[in-house]
Amino acid sequence: MLEYRQVDVFASSPLSGNGLAVVITEEPLDPLFMQQLTCELRQFESIFLSPSRDAGAFEARVFTMEEELPFAGHPSIGAAAVLHERAGGDGFECRLNLAGGLVPLASQRTDAGFRVTMQQGRPEFGEVIPVDAESEWLSAFGLDAGDRDPRLPLCVASTGLRYLVIAVTTAGLARARIRVDDLEPRLASIGAKFAYVLDVENREGRTWDNLGLVEDIATGSAAGPVAALLVRYRLAEIGESIRIRQGRFAGRPSEMLLEVAGEPERIAGVALSGSVVMVASGRFDESVAAANRAA
C-alpha cells in the first residue's frame, strides 16, 4: 500500500503556507517513479522517506516537478512533522539523510499541529557580483538600479542549496519577475542554483523556478542563507529571532523563523523553525504502486 500525507509548512492554519506531499515507504522507490508521483501530486516539492540503518535517521529524497534537489527546507520540516505524528508524543527528534548531507530536526506538538526546528549548519558564501555587473542581474528580473538596496551585496550563499541573493527595495520586490529564458545557465556560471529576491527593509522574499513559471511560497533553503547574510553584514544580530516572510504575492502568506549562531565574521550555524499543519491523507491505487515494482 502506497500512502502519502499532505501538509502545509510555515503555516498557521490549513490551506496556507507551503504545501508538501510526504511519502514514507519501507524500501526506497525508483527515482523516475518518485519524479512521476511528484508531477501527479503537483506540489512545488515532494519528499520520499525510507528507514536508514541508523536509528532515528531516514533516507530522504526531494523532488520538484522538474528535478531532484540535494537539499530543501520546507520538505525537511514537513517530513519531521509527519514522522512525529506517526511516532506520537509531545516531542520528537530525527535526522534526514539527504544528498546534501545529514539534517537534524526537532519537533514539538502544538495546538495547531507541530513546530519543527531544523539545524541547517554552517553557511557557505560564494561569489560576490561586482557593482558594475549588477545591472545585468537586475534586468534579468525586470529591475533597475532604483530598485536596489545597497546594504547587502548581490552574492551567492548556501546552507545546502546555492542561491544568488538579490537585495531590493519594497517596490522592487513587488515588481520582480524573471524576464529571461536562460536564467539557469546564468546562475550556474556563478555557482548558484536559484535566485532569491529579498526586500531587506521588511525581510520579505520571493523566488521562482528558473523558468519563472511557478512562484515558491516559502523557501527554507533560501531563508537560511538570507539570515546568515543579514548577520554577516550587521543587519541582524547573533541570537536574534529573524522572521522572513514569503508567499504574499502567491496568495499564501508564510513565515519562517531563523536564529544564527557564532559571530558575524565566523557564523557557526543557522537554525530554521516553522509551523506545520496536517491537511490530508491519500493512498495510491495498486496499479500505481505496481509501476514502481516494474521499474
Task: Assess whether the region 2-119+276-294 and the region 124-274 belong to the same CATH fold.
Answer: yes
Count Cα neighbours of 238 within 13 Å in the Cβ-side half-sphere: 10
CATH homologous superfamily of domain 2-119+276-294? Diaminopimelate Epimerase; Chain A, domain 1 (3.10.310.10)
What are the beta bridge partners of residue 126? none
Cell matching residue 7: 501538509
Domain boundaries, the chain: 2-119+276-294, 124-274
For the chain, 295 residues long, the average pLDDT of each consecutive 10-residue run is: 95 92 96 95 93 92 94 95 97 96 96 96 97 98 98 97 98 98 98 98 97 94 97 98 97 96 97 97 89 70
What does each C-alpha distance from 271 to 20, 220, 249 come to in angstroms? 20, 10, 25
Report whether 111 contacts 131 (CB < 8 A). Answer: no
CATH homologous superfamily of domain 124-274? Diaminopimelate Epimerase; Chain A, domain 1 (3.10.310.10)
Sequence-separated (6 or more) residues with CB below 8 Å from residue 53: none
* pLDDT on residue 99: 93
Query: Which residue type does 44 have?
Result: F
Report whether 20 contacts 43 (CB < 8 A). Answer: yes
Closest CA to 50 of 71, 70, 30: 30
* pLDDT on residue 295: 61
**Alpha carbon distance 191, 79 (integer Å):** 28
Report whether 2 contacts 58 (CB < 8 A). Answer: no
Q: Which helix (H) or strand (E) holds 44?
A: none
**Alpha carbon distance 38, 141 (integer Å):** 28
* pLDDT on residue 55: 85
Instruction: Using the structure block, give the residue that is written with the C-alpha cell 490551506.
Output: 15
Per the document, the length of the chain is 295
* pLDDT on residue 45: 92
Q: Which helix (H) or strand (E) holds 104?
A: strand 101-109
* pLDDT on residue 224: 97
Instruction: Using the structure block, give the residue that is written with the C-alpha cell 542563507.
Output: 225
* pLDDT on residue 54: 87
Q: Which helix (H) or strand (E) holds 174?
A: helix 170-175
Report the SS3 class of residue 5.
Answer: strand
What's the alpha-carbon Rg for the chain, to the nearest Å?
Answer: 19
**Alpha carbon distance 118, 47 (integer Å):** 15
